[in-house]
Amino acid sequence: MEFLQYLEQTALATFIRESSSYLGFPTFLFMHTLGLSILVGANSIVAIRVLGVASSIPLKPMERLFPFMWAGFILTVISGLGLGIAAATTRLINPILLFKLVMIAIATPIMRVMEKRVFRGAGVLKEGDAQAGKAMAAALLVLWTIIMIAGRLIAYSATILGQ
């Protein structure tokens, strides 16, 4: 708990939490939302295509969306860390946030594996990878939806958890 108190008292955490110009928290929240939108939006486009929707669109060009996904992921992680340390003693022990982090820890490697397995070679799913690609795509759609819902619930967690 001392470490969380230390984090909460850092200059960055204080700026995010108490910025007199209201730039701290709203800016980090905006950046978190923007990063998540880029990540989940691009991921959804790829996943839906891998699942077979709009099959007339070639799969290989979808590979160009992965750099956007990773940029969105990095922006989301950095801004999420800022939001977390701003209220570290309460937010970083919140079970909803911890659940969200576990879901992210599951989704991220799946996204990386899908990038490598589905988009290798000529951009056409190999015979054995077709089902695996569809399973990964479906899992990612479900996981990112759960992650977004959990993120929204964090704002209401005092009410939800009876705190």
Are residues 50 and 141 in contact, defined by beta-carbon separation less than 8 angstroms? no
Diameter over CA atoms, the chain: 58
Residue 5 CA to residue 135 CA, distance in Å, equals 42
Burial zone of 39 (CB within 10 Å; 0-12 exposed, 13-18 middle, 19+ buried): buried
- What is the SS3 assignment for the chain? CHHHHHHHCCHHHHHHHHCCCCCHHHHHHHHHHHHHHHHHHHHHHHHHHHCCCCCCCCCHHHHHHHHHHHHHHHHHHHHHHHHHHHCHHHHCCCHHHHHHHHHHHHHHHHHHHHHHHHCCCCCCCCHHHHHHHHHHHHHHHHHHHHHHHHHHHHCCHHHHCCC
> What is this structure's pTM?
0.87
Reading the chain (163 residues) residue by residue, the pLDDT tens digits are 899 899 899 999 999 988 866 788 899 999 999 999 999 999 999 999 999 898 888 888 888 999 999 999 999 999 999 999 998 988 889 999 999 999 999 999 999 999 888 876 545 555 556 788 899 999 999 999 999 999 999 888 866 665 5
State the pLDDT at residue 131. Answer: 83
CB atoms within 10 A of CB 149: 12
Can you tell me the distance from the alpha carbon of 74 to that of 35, in angstroms, rounded to the nearest whole number? 8
Which position has the token pair 């990386």?
112
Question: What per-residue confidence (pLDDT) applies to 47?
Answer: 94
CB atoms within 10 A of CB 119: 22
User: How many Å apart are CA 103 and CA 94, to the nearest integer?
Assistant: 14
pLDDT of residue 122: 47
